[in-house]
Copies of this chain bind each other. A is one copy, B any other.
């Protein structure tokens, strides 16, 4: 589903991943989904734009200014997010104005929500200045949002209760080999 190039021949998602696959060292790159994610939203400008989109911004101008980045950077990053399928353009029209184009998160982009909330919560703990400007809340009850790590069976999982499991034979061998050569 990821490599559908569309009718216009757009490059596949996560295109820069190629650089990893060509690497001859065994490194976790290419295996690791954290790195895949960082290829797309690993830059400051990408994340603050995504943040503004979650805050409800749609117009180019608003996004750039609220994100606190220059318009040049905003344009570059938005185009990239467009290519990566994180945002899509959507026409809108203000009363008495001509139709314009705005930006909106796609499903793939909306799936970044837990990451944004997690980053927000963690960033919260870095400083005791609590004048944070705005926060995510549950619409119906008004309580602020947080993230919780759970397993597929529904148990809340503390870090101490979590483990790492190898799912690939070859990977496990190479990974362990790196431990004691």
Contacts and interface: CB of A to CB of B under 8 A. Distances in A.
B14 A126 contact: yes
A111 to B, nearest CB: 6
Contact of A33 (B27, B62, B126, B145): B126
Interface string A130-170: 01111111111111111111111101010101111111100
A98 to B, nearest CB: 16
A44 B38 contact: yes
A90 interface: no
Contacts of A55: 164
Contact of A178 (B62, B125, B149): B62
Given A155-B138, A162-B136, A162-B145, A67 B115 contact: no
A34 B67 contact: no
A151 B168 contact: no
Nearest to A177: B65
A10 B34 CA distance: 30
A157 B141 CA distance: 10
Q: Which of A29, A142, A167, A168 has the most B CB atoms < 10 Å from its CB?
A: A167
Contacts of A123: 32-38
Interface of A: 1-2, 13-14, 17, 23, 25, 27-29, 31-38, 40, 42-44, 47-48, 51-52, 54-56, 62, 65-68, 108, 110-128, 131-153, 155, 157, 159, 161-168, 171-172, 175, 178-179
8 contacts: A14-B127, A28-B66, A34-B119, A36-B123, A36-B126, A66-B175, A114-B114, A143-B153
